[in-house]
Structure 1
Amino acid sequence: MSYSSDDQRILGEIERGLTRDDPALATLIDTLNEQFPHAADVPSDARAPRRNPRVVTAVVLAVIALLALILTAMLGSRSAPPAGVDGGPAALSSLSAVTGAHEGHTLP
């Protein structure tokens, strides 16, 4: 990717300012550029291939579906409380049996 003359001029000013303000950092960057000279020559398109948005969407949806399935299995596998503990019909029948026995009545 080539820069316009204005961009090159601005980058040159930034580089000169960096060298003047922080020579240690400028030396470190020069050393890194010497160690990895090929990184600057590689076009930006070749550095990181773009991912297909449809593939990314499919993977995200698959992960969400898998998490929903696991959550459903976990919530659905809870054991029911013993009869009469949750205040359901079994609790009412045992309560009426006790009340009926106390009043002298029997339930069928």
Structure 2
Amino acid sequence: MGKKQPDSCGLGPALEVISGKWKALLLWQIHKAPARFGELKRLVPDISEKMLIQQLREMEADGIVHREIFPEVPPRVEYSITEFGVELDNALIPLARWGKQHARRTDRQSPRQAREPASHSL
């Protein structure tokens, strides 16, 4: 018989799905509208192409985004949010509000974010 796992508040599985610097931001962008790879690269310019590919693959494997290949020449690939992803994105909204409210206190806001107004409201 395996080890009994301690009771969890549920954060472990949630944080595992959105772990890393980019997933929550990518999820937010895809939630606003389905997007192609190039669009996501423009919307999140600081992410490397390699990291974007990796994050999208992990998000697809976790079932929070759907990757659709359109039979066109050249093929078009579009990423959209799944119902599971919408649930996760909605759960992240209070966390995002907290982050905006306390960004200066936690000193986690980048200098660019401090200068630019938020592109979306929560």
> Which is richer in strand?
2
Larger radius of gyration: 1
> Which is richer in helix?
1
Report the TM-score, using the length of structure 1 for normalisation. 0.22
Report the TM-score, using the length of structure 2 for normalisation. 0.20
